[in-house]
Structure 1
Amino acid sequence: MNNDQLMHDPAGPVLLVGGYGTVGAELARMAAGTWPLLLAGRTPARAADLCRELGAGARRWDLSDPEPFQAAARAVVGLVNDPDDRVLRAALAGGVPYVDVTRWTSRVQRAAALASLGLPGTGPAAPVLLSSGWMGGVVPLVAAALAERLGGADRVETSIRYDLADRAGADSVEFMDRLGVDFEVLEGGRAKAVSPLSGARTLSIGDHRTKVARIDTPEQFTLPLTLGARTVTTRIGFSSTAATSALVGLGRIGFFRRARGERWRPVRRRLLYAPGGGGTATLRIEVEGPGGILRATVTDPHGQARLTAVGALLGLRRVLGADGAPARTGLAFPESHPLPGTLLPALEAAGVRVDVTGRDVTGRDIAGPVAETAAGAAA
């Protein structure tokens, strides 16, 4: 049992655990100038240049090392895997607002139970935002914004185009370790077990025709709970159709089921973890509700790391009540945002393009960037 201690200090720094990694450095640059920052990780010397650039501090916190960590912070953001819930437990015990963007579905479920029940003798004394939906919660945020325009969400379908030329942190392909495990989704209001990489189809994502197949993502668990969606589906495809086809083929012959465990972990990771110099992150989120169907195409020309950091930044604003609504104590998911109408403009303001097409609850046809469609709605 470790003795990690985080103490809440409303005037203290925002603690970014993993704050100088690929996503962490993007978030640190976005948050600098708004809040003082403390970057934590296994090798704080690697943060030296970033700390000089941003005027931030750095501390060592290796989540695999039992050495305890202590700090005072106004909020904490988890940007690296927290397999033993050390950061979450320390935040709960210290009443520190907490955001996490790194968990796959089963770990979101475990963290949600822990945050709901609290530690022995305690209850949640601060906001806890589990924002691990795809790209730091961007997918569920967009789904919530579209659902508001439609008067609800019956069906949410997400298609992801993963650019193999993009920069990627070591944790960004952790979903590879789940490709041999069936997962449960809701289809038509009924629970259904789904095999990863099944249900392949080819569709348009932005300007590209992309082959996509099923994967396990946390929003498939959370959106039925929060928005009441009866069907939630997420698929992923790669900028190389050949790479997608090869992965689907490996899934079909059961490679990922047989190649589970630590022995095969390096092989699994080599299949996808080949970070490039930069690419474009593109998502398509389609929501059907009582008022019609809306489809949003989300594009960040700076890539998935930056888009994930944008999601984390919006989560940080939420737990600090810095987005126009008071922070709420206790557990929440990104799509539980009290002001869903502000979410697409907030993404646009952060440099993320969001194009919406379809028909909303008023019966009005919509087509174009968020800024234009919002102006039309106001008119």
Structure 2
Amino acid sequence: MIFWSRPVILLYASDCPANWPERLFEIFRVKKGEVIMAVFSVDELKKLSETIENPCISVYMPTHRTGRETEQDPIRFKNLLTRVERDLEKTGMKERAIDEFLKPLRELLHDTLLWQHMAEGFAVFRSPDTFSYYRLPVRFDEFHYTGTRFHLKPLMPILTGDGQFYILVMSQKSVRLLRGSRDSVHPVEIEDLPDNLADALNIDEYIQTMQFHTGTSMRQAGRSAIFHGHGAGEDDETHDIKQYLRKIDEALCNYIGSQRIPVILAGVDSLLPLYREISDYGNLYEEGLPGNHDIERPEDIHKKAWSILKPYFDRNRRKAEEKYHELKNNDLATAKLPDILKAAVSGRIDTLFVDLKDHLWGRYVPESGAIFIEDQPELESVDLLDAAAINTIKKGGTVYAVKGDELPDDSPLAAVLRY
């Protein structure tokens, strides 16, 4: 049963002061003059999605890495905050309370370092008990919303694996992880990732011990430390390299967690097969980038990696679309809103296609299945497309947040069901 009623509000940005507790997720850090990206995970999406407070504001905007437009980004953000202020006034909030509520967001306007190290998009979330902001590799449209929940659909492309991947660049001299999308690439900081082979095997410490006890030269000790772990000869060198690669793999698996984002390997020919042999990560792409990439720019590595991975992403989405059309007449695929909302809540959606740009404001009552559609958002309403996407992600389904003309049916959402 669908009831037609009335309207909600919304907004986005990214990063937050150290004195803000609990739900602060810093997606970029500045380290040694380089912007490092940490992962935005499904767990963080879940925490944001579980917030139910009055009000919850969400703000999204496109940002720029370089050029004169970087100076305009804080001005655009200030303008968005002015619109949010008006929305809060409409809810009946008093001027003093609004000023206090928006204070941490306005303080971001004066954070020069923040605006100097932006990515493609900025998302900000604020409620009475939550303040978090993110610089992300997705170019958002300007958007603000005020309701009793956060609006999270614009984050879907980051979480679904649709065009998101990692590049593990390694040699005996260095290791780095890059996170890429269709259009961007960023260095990623991983805790416990060794800097190189010597760091992984504590060779510097071993060399100092050798020199102290035996007077062995630095060069001789270094060779012994690397190549004579359990005896002599090439097998011991391979053993030490595998030990090094295991430490890389352990750090990688701990960092990515349960996400199934593909990882493409970039490194010298001798390392790649050894890493595949020892790795516990379940989605190493079969083709890699052989060669020494120690001094190669991330942008150049990304270009090579994307040329390999593009068919993979296109193929996965195409297979999902084909599956939708195959099952459409068997009750295992649907474009009906009531069926999709019910299936999303119960965890029955395998794959969901949803219009990234469209909104369908209203309310859904899971207990009765009633849907209230509203022409404009109100404080208690949500974007029902957003709700379907979030529940699908939380229950382990795949979401393709796409443009309207890329949807497999004449509907803002379409789903393949598990059963």
Q: Same fold (TM over 0.5)?
A: no
Q: Based on CA coordinates, which of the two structures has the bigger radius of gyration?
A: 2
Structure with a larger share of its residues in helix: 2
